[in-house]
Structure 1
Amino acid sequence: MSLIISNEILEKIEMSEGQLQIEIAVMLFQQERFTLAQAARFAQMNQLAFQKLLAKRHIPLHYGMEELMEDFYNLQESKENDNSQ
C-alpha cells in the first residue's frame, strides 16, 4: 500500500516527507503497534539513531520478547553477512 501526501499538506503542517515518516513511526511505536526495529525501518533510520531520537524525546523503550528475538535474528543475519565477505 502506498500513501500519497500532497505537498500542500506537507507545507500546511510544516514538515518534510521524511519528518512526517519519523513522526508516524514514533507515534506507532508509542502505541506499541510497531516494534523498535519496525519503527526504525519505517522512519528510514538505523535502530541506534531511532533509540537516540526516542531518548531525546523522553520516550521509554518497551522492549519485549518479540523485539529481543527480532534483534537476535538481525544480529545473526549481520554476522553471517560479515563472515561471507
Structure 2
Amino acid sequence: MDVLIPKDIVAATKMSPAELALEIAIMLYKQEKISSGRACQWLGMNLIEFRRELGKRGLTINYDVEDFESDLKTLRELGRL
C-alpha cells in the first residue's frame, strides 16, 4: 500500500518530500516497526548515512543483547573470533 500525503500537508511541514520521508522512516525505526535495512532501502541511503541521521538527532541504534549474541555466534562460525 502506498500512502499519499497531500501537498498542503507536506508544505505545512516546511520539509521536502525526502526530508519528510526520512523523519517518517526514523520514527518507524525507533518504534521498531521497520529495520534499519528496510529504512535504508526505502530512503535510498546506505546504513552509515542512516546511522549518521540517527546520531544527528541523539538517537541510538536498535541493538540489544540478543543481537550481540547473534553477532558473536556468526563471528565464531566465520572463524573471526
| TM-score normalised by structure 2 residue count | 0.71
Pairs within 5 Å for 1:1-85: 1-63=1-63, 65=67
Q: Kindly tell me the number of residue pairs found equivalent between the two proteins.
A: 68
When normalised by structure 1's length, the TM-score is 0.68
Distance in 1 separating the partners of 2:63 and 2:43: 18
Specify every segment of 5 or more residues in structure 2 that has no aligned partner in the other structure, as ranges: 75-81
**Residues 29 and 35 in structure 1, CA contact (< 8 A), matched pair in contact too:** yes
Displacement of 1:27 in angstroms is 0.1
Gaps of 5+ in 1: 73-85
Over 2 Å off, 4+ runs: none
Q: CA offsets per residue over residues 31-79 of structure 1, 9 Å max, x none?
A: 01111111222222111100111112111111354xx78xx9xxxxxxx
Task: Give percent identity, aligned residues only.
Answer: 31
Q: Secondary structure at the match of 1:12?
A: helix
